[in-house]
Structure 1
């Protein structure tokens, strides 16, 4: 992996609550979930004076981020890490101590806040970094990485859509493409001339670009709701409905509106979602025809005609 120095000495990973930490005005963003951010794992060793991390909930992903954070902070530099107590925060101090750091821990607004001065000594970071790095997973036969949605399995919703998706044709997009499961299925049709995958997660986009080697496919690290495309023949999507671990039904509804904006009249939208999500009213308002193609095992598959 190529390493590079940043044009800023201070950085932040994610969006920590502003009332809990003071960030330098010139702190650069490193989150893979904020398009346009720099990459933490691409930073040179000891290239930062300070780093603040809003720690991810998953243990493999979190330790990977902590390991790279400690690698990127210069000896004597400051690392601040925080997370809700019930979403990994209770483990932060122990994990940082396992890396060989002395930790000052405080607790405020249900968040554990850990502060570390990067030691001069070499730290045992390699195992955590390796465990959270991209991997070609045997069970999937795809490149993936801890932290990406459904990183170690085919989720049931996508499996339903893949099983029932007919041969598509023309130009289309996958809103929230993830590792590329649905794009791969769409590209089995020789009538598909192009498909663009959009995802808010840089890691997912990078994995998908390795998983799909087809000149008809393109990949975009961007908010899928702001795709900027129109007059397409088809849209496929298994949209997210959580933000920061909290159910946010409006997110999927926004994906539906974005799908309609992308389609020509007569274009088709294939959507899979958890049964309880209230998408029908938005679909009926945006599309001329909506049909439920399957409803079982807690998931529903819908076809909508623009």
Structure 2
């Protein structure tokens, strides 16, 4: 676990003078509390984790701010995306003062070994510790710029859309989303795209002329920023939030391509939470449209949440549902 490796790192290097520490993609309950006594700035753009950090007593930022610099130490907690993690390492380097320390930590299953090897290919030989199916390594900042290429990731933007490193479907259009768009009937009124990502479904929904307003609710701020680029429409409202906490809305329709993975593990609970959120926020005559992989048993959940459920389209890999008359559980 990250907490065990950070504890090992702190014990290994002994007392250190770091007045200002920056943490990129910081996570709650990951050992950051072991750095107490220092001025810690945590950056986390995923709303769910952002909220957890606040509950743990941190005051995180959603983005790297103008004052995130001149760090004595920067800690990168890696993501599953190699492109995003390389960008984070480059940002950490630029934000750290010469002579400061950059620390990188992660699980092997999340790709820490490939990042470690990529640094060594650049001629950097970090100090390192291996524990709990992962690795933590660190190196000193100098006056060179070895990560200049990492600061400008070359993504293959699908069909001219803006995306961002690490977001869902960053380099190709998702086939499930395409299936959902193909099956949508005419939409009208005030709707929501929950888990809107970088706005692919939303832009299609706004192509329906009777849509009066569309709320794009997305937990990943980088994806939402990309959606702002992709959608220039006064009917669009962009909301950075944990989708599953949304309540008190009364939408005419909701569309969704619910996620079904947490980290690298299939987790239908997350998809179920999206379906529950939809049922909770529709008008009595509102309509919910979603897509799911064929192997996921969402029909059972949908029938518990709605009185009328029908499969209205799909492909051999995906199924598209229309659900109406939400039950007020």
TM-score (normalised: structure 2):
0.83
Q: Secondary structure at the match of 2:152?
A: helix
Pick the aligned partner of 2:153 from 122, 126, 131: 131
| Residue of structure 1 in register with 2:20 after alignment | 9
- Whether the 8 Å contact between 1:99 and 1:123 is mirrored in structure 2 is no
Structure 2 unmatched runs, 5+: 1-18, 52-59
- Give the drift of 1:47: 2.6
Aligned counterparts of 1:29 and 1:168: Cα–Cα separation in 2: 41
Map Cα deviations across residues 275-306 of structure 1 (whole Å, 9 max, x no partner). 11222222111111111112432211110002
Q: Aligned pair 1:206/2:225, yes or no?
A: yes
Pick the aligned partner of 1:152 from 151, 171, 179: 171
Aligned counterparts of 2:32 and 2:20: Cα–Cα separation in 1: 21
Aligned counterparts of 1:182 and 1:222: Cα–Cα separation in 2: 18
Pick the aligned partner of 2:35 from 7, 23, 33: 23
Map Cα deviations across residues 11-48 of structure 1 (whole Å, 9 max, x no partner). 32232763699333653321221357425554457432
Map Cα deviations across residues 198-246 of structure 1 (whole Å, 9 max, x no partner). 1111111000011000100011111111223412100000011111222
Map Cα deviations across residues 173-220 of structure 1 (whole Å, 9 max, x no partner). 100001111111111111111000011111110000110001000111
Aligned counterparts of 2:44 and 2:191: Cα–Cα separation in 1: 28
| Residue of structure 1 in register with 2:130 after alignment | 107
- Which one has the bigger helix percentage? 2
| Residue of structure 2 in register with 1:283 after alignment | 302
CA RMSD between the two structures: 2.3
Q: Aligned pair 1:84/2:136, yes or no?
A: no
| Residue of structure 2 in register with 1:274 after alignment | 293
Pick the aligned partner of 2:162 from 143, 159, 172: 143
- Give the drift of 1:78: 2.4
Q: Give the paired residue count.
A: 295
- Whether the 8 Å contact between 1:198 and 1:221 is mirrored in structure 2 is yes
- Whether the 8 Å contact between 2:70 and 2:95 is mirrored in structure 1 is yes
- Whether the 8 Å contact between 1:44 and 1:72 is mirrored in structure 2 is no
240-249 or 8-17, which deviates more: 8-17
Q: Secondary structure at the match of 1:140?
A: helix
| Residue of structure 1 in register with 2:242 after alignment | 223
- Whether the 8 Å contact between 1:46 and 1:75 is mirrored in structure 2 is no
- Whether the 8 Å contact between 2:82 and 2:115 is mirrored in structure 1 is no
Aligned counterparts of 1:89 and 1:21: Cα–Cα separation in 2: 22
Distance 1:218 1:283, change over 3 A: same
Aligned counterparts of 2:301 and 2:171: Cα–Cα separation in 1: 32
| Residue of structure 2 in register with 1:3 after alignment | none
Structure 1 unmatched runs, 5+: 1-7
Aligned counterparts of 1:267 and 1:105: Cα–Cα separation in 2: 55
Aligned counterparts of 1:223 and 1:235: Cα–Cα separation in 2: 16
Aligned counterparts of 2:210 and 2:298: Cα–Cα separation in 1: 29
Q: Aligned pair 1:294/2:305, yes or no?
A: no
Map Cα deviations across residues 71-121 of structure 1 (whole Å, 9 max, x no partner). 1112222222112123211123233334554411111000111122322x2
155-164 or 59-68, which deviates more: 59-68
Q: Aligned pair 1:59/2:72, yes or no?
A: no
